Structure 1
Amino acid sequence: SYKLQVIHSARANASHNHGLDPERLIVAEAFVGKGDFKKRVSYHGKGRSGIMHKPECRLTVVVREITPEEEAEIARLKVHNFKKRTKRESQLVPHQLIETTPVWGRKNKSNRQNSSASVA
C-alpha cells in the first residue's frame, strides 16, 4: 500500500543520505498534509462538460534511530506479550460441544429410523 511505500522510502533515504542503520530505525512521527488538485473533465448532458477537482494528500514520515533504553523496553514488551499469548493458549482445554438449541423434528427422525429398521 501507499503508506508502506512511504515508510520504506523514508528508511532508504535515512540509510543512504544520513548513514543511519536501517535495522535500528523507528517512525518518530507521521502526518498528512494537503496535496495537489487534479483536474479531470466531467461530461454532462446536451454536449456540455465541466471540470472535476480531485484533491490529493501528502504523507510525510519522519524516522529516527532507536536508543538502547527504548530497544530494551521493546524487547521486554515482546517477551511479556509472548508469555501472555502462551498462557492464554494453555488455558484452552478441548471440550465437548453441548447442544443448547433443539433440533426441529428430532422425534420424527428417530421414529422413522426405528420404523424403517423394524420393517427391514
Structure 2
Amino acid sequence: MSRSIRSAATLAHNAMAGPSRLTAQPLLARPAALPQRTMFSGSFLPSWLTKRQEAETIEKRKAKKTNISEEQEGSMPIKPRAQGGSLAAAEGSEAAPTEISDAGIFEGLDVEDEGIVGSEAAQRRQVRRVSNRPGADKFTEHWYTSARHKIAPKKLRLLAKQISGLPVEEAILQMQYSLKGAAKWIKPNLVLARQHAINYKGANPHLLKVAEALVNKDPYGPKRVDIKGRGRFGIMRHPYCRLKFVLREGKTMEEVVQARFENDVNKHARSATIFPERTPLRRRVNSGWAW
C-alpha cells in the first residue's frame, strides 16, 4: 500500500509545469521587477571625446576663477604703499604715477656666453654648417659601407675593380647596365653615398669619383646538411660580405684625358728640332772580325 501512495506522489510531482527538480517558491519571495542597470557613459566613450570633455571642464573652472578674482578686485580698492612702508603715510600723500616699461623679464640679466650650444646634436649641426661655408676646411672624402649580402667575395671583387677609379656618375651607369646580380644593390648604394657626400660633406657632384672600392668578408651563414648518396653527407656554408668604397673629389673626365694625352706626348713623341750630327757614334758596329 505504501508503494502505491509513493508512486502516486511521484506522478503528481512530475506532472507539474516547469522544471521537475525545482521546488515551488512562494510569490512573496520573488522580486516584483529586476533592478535597472546603471550605465556609465564615461566608460563607453572614446578616448578623444573623454579628453575633449575634460578640457572643456578645466576651461570652465579657469573662467569661473578669473571671474571671481575680477569681482573681488573691483570690490576692494587698492591703497598705494609709501616708501616708508606704512599705509597711513600713503593715505596722507598723493600716489606717485607708476612708469610702465616695455622691457622683458630677462632684460636686466647679464649673459656671459651667448654661444652656448645645448646638445651634441646641435654641435654637430653647427660643425656641419661651418664646414659647408665657403673658405672653410672642407671634408676630403666620404666612406660608405653597404649592408651584409649573400655573395662570394671573389664575385664581388670583380665589380669592385670595375667601379674603382671611375667618376660616380660613370660607376652608376656601369652598374645600371651590368648583367651581374650584385649590380642591382650596388647601384642604389652608390647613389645614396653620393647624396650623403653632397648634403653632409659639401662635396662637388661633378668632381666626385670612386677612389677606392674594398670587399670586406663577413662571417659565414648557418650550416646546412648537404645530403649525398650511399649514406654520405656534407656541410654547406654560404659566404657573406660587404662592399666599402671611398668617394673623393678628383679631376673631371676632360682633365683626365688631357693629362693622359700630355703624358703620352712627353713619353713617346720626338722633338721637331734639328740636332747637329757632329757627335761621334757610340757603340759603332763594324762589319768583319774585330781582331
TM bucket normalised to smaller: 0.3 to 0.5
Structure with the largest fraction of strand: 1
TM-score between the two structures when normalised by the length of structure 2: 0.22
Larger RCO: 1 or 2 (CA < 8 Å, sep 6+): 1
Structure with the largest fraction of helix: 1
Larger Rg: 2
TM-score between the two structures when normalised by the length of structure 1: 0.45
